[in-house]
């Protein structure tokens, strides 16, 4: 890590073509709460910047009146980030977080992998979350037929529903249920919400916690403790089939016994080494042997973030719960692998 400043969180803004991503991006650029942020966009021409322009840093970077830095990506995202870091190192600009707009057909995972694989970038930047816009009018058809749309939803830490005012009655409720089956770990907001609410807890919340500090259990538990969506299968390894989501499925493991951290870490490392390309997300709260507080983990494909100690236990039984979002991997394979490696069994209740 650079000694000049801590790792800067990078937030990805993704969404299928026509989902309202550019409209949301315009709101981000205009909002005072984005002061101190650097925003990487595809083209300056796609958003209205002229009346917000305060200063031009170079031919790809401008400073807006809101205090937000806007940068157009020409070529590779890595090059744009390196340029921003170079300008910051020379004290020409300052920023504390980065938002990257992806194209409507882009798979967000390669960008996330760039942050950890690039030897220079990983010393300055870290994954800060994925924000995905979803069109309430057209999302049903997109999810049925476009794998890119499903992967963008599966990658999301938060989903922003757009055009809810144009959707037929009942559409939004059905869509929320369907999104929950694709990605039960993502929070749901609407594009009508204030920008600070849309970005609440984004960025620093996904970075490694200070050694002496903790994190609030509430927002972690929201993504893992209520992974039922109204379904009761007679036991606690809930599985949401992906027949209507182009093969993407989610399921949870619930373990009552304390887990040996070294054994768990070895198992998860081996699992992601073999199946990381097919495991879109793993997120959960763990009961670790010898630890008084719960430990939260969060991974995206081959990338696992530093584990964090939560400040207290969420309501309910003190048990480990892991949520997986998968494509092309059987949940039963992961269940059997976990049981064989750790010797621990899932919590089961009477049917």
pLDDT tens, position by position, 234-251: 334 444 444 345 578 888
Same domain flag for 158 and 297: no
Residues 177-197 have pLDDT tens digits of 999 989 998 999 999 999 888
Please state the rounded mean pLDDT for residues 165-170. Answer: 88
Number of separate domains in the chain: 2
pLDDT at 287 over 60: yes
Q: Name the pLDDT band for 219 (thresholds 50, 70, 90).
A: very low
Whole-structure pTM value: 0.73
Range of the domain at 303: 248-350
The Cα 8–Cα 204 span in angstroms is 8
* CB-based contact 187:223 (threshold 8 Å): yes
Q: Looking at 168, 199, 230, which one is the last position of a domain?
A: 199
Q: Name the pLDDT band for 258 (thresholds 50, 70, 90).
A: very high
Same domain flag for 32 and 161: yes
CATH of the domain at 69: 3.40.50.300
Which of 54-63, 95-104, 153-162, 336-345 bottoms out in mean pLDDT, i.e. has the lowest?
Answer: 54-63
Strands (E), the chain: 8-15, 37-41, 53-56, 61-64, 69-72, 97-101, 125-135, 158-162, 187-190, 239-240, 248-255, 279-286, 295-300, 303-304, 308-309, 320-327
| Residue 286: predicted pLDDT | 94
Whose CA is closest to 227, among 333, 316, 144?
316
Q: Name the pLDDT band for 16 (thresholds 50, 70, 90).
A: confident
Same domain flag for 56 and 137: yes
Query: Rounded mean pLDDT of the chain?
Result: 79
Q: Name the pLDDT band for 59 (thresholds 50, 70, 90).
A: low
Residue 117 lies in a domain: yes
Highest mean pLDDT among 66-70, 143-147, 209-213, 318-322: 318-322
Residue 219 lies in a domain: no
pLDDT at 283 over 70: yes
Residue 216 lies in a domain: no
Residue 87 lies in a domain: yes
Of residues 286 and 244, more confidence is placed in 286
The Cα 303–Cα 272 span in angstroms is 8
Give the three-class secondary structure for 89: helix
Q: What is the 3-state secondary structure (H, E, C) of 146-197?
A: CHHHHHHHHHCCEEEEECCCCCCCCHHHHHHHHHHHHCCCCEEEECCCCHHH
Strands (E), 256-301: 279-286, 295-300
Say how many C-beta atoms besides its own lie within 10 A of residue 32's C-beta.
Answer: 11
Same domain flag for 106 and 172: yes
Q: Name the pLDDT band for 50 (thresholds 50, 70, 90).
A: very low
Residue 142, both tokens:
């997109």
Residue 238 lies in a domain: no
**Parallel, antiparallel, or unpaired: how do β-strands 239-240 and 248-255 relate?**
antiparallel
Same domain flag for 12 and 140: yes
Same domain flag for 60 and 154: yes
Q: Looking at 159, 174, 199, which one is the last position of a domain?
A: 199
Residue 96, both tokens:
């504390």
| Residue 75: predicted pLDDT | 64
Same domain flag for 298 and 179: no
Q: Name the pLDDT band for 44 (thresholds 50, 70, 90).
A: very low
| Residue 43: predicted pLDDT | 53
Give me the sign of the Cα torsion angle 201, 202, 203, 205: positive
Whose CA is closest to 67, among 98, 41, 31?
31
Same domain flag for 113 and 22: yes
């Amino acid at each position: 890590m650079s000694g000049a400043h801590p790792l800067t969180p990078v937030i990805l803004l993704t969404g299928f073509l026509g989902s309202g991503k550019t409209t949301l991006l315009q709101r981000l650029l205009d909002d005072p709460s984005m002061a101190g942020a650097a925003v990487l966009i595809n083209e300056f021409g796609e958003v209205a910047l002229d009346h917000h322009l305060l200063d031009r840093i170079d031919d790809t970077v401008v400073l807006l009146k809101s205090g937000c830095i806007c940068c157009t990506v020409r070529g590779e995202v890595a090059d744009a980030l390196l340029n921003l870091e170079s300008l910051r190192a020379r004290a020409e600009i300052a920023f504390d977080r980065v938002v990257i707009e992806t194209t409507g057909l882009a798979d967000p995972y390669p960008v996330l992998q760039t942050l950890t694989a690039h030897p220079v970038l990983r010393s300055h930047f870290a994954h800060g979350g994925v924000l995905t816009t979803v069109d309430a009018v057209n999302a049903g058809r997109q999810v049925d037929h476009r794998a890119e749309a499903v992967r963008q939803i599966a990658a999301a830490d938060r989903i922003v529903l757009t055009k809810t005012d144009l959707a037929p009655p009942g559409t939004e409720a059905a869509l929320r249920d369907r999104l929950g089956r694709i990605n039960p770990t993502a929070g749901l907001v609407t594009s009508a919400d204030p920008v600070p609410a849309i970005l609440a807890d984004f960025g620093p919340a996904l970075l490694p916690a200070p050694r002496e500090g903790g994190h609030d259990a509430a927002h972690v538990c929201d993504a893992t403790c209520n992974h039922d969506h109204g379904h009761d299968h007679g036991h606690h390894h809930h599985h949401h089939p992906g027949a209507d989501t182009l093969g993407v499925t989610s399921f949870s493991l619930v373990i009552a016994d304390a887990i040996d951290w070294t054994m768990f870490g070895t198992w998860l490392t081996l699992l992601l080494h073999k199946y990381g390309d097919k495991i879109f997300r793993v997120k959960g709260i763990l009961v670790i042997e010898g630890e008084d507080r719960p430990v939260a983990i969060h991974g995206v494909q081959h990338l696992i973030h530093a584990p964090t100690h939560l400040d207290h236990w969420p309501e309910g039984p003190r048990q480990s719960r892991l949520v997986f979002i998968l494509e092309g991997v059987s949940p039963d394979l992961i269940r059997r692998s976990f049981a064989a490696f750790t010797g621990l069994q899932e919590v089961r209740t009477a049917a």
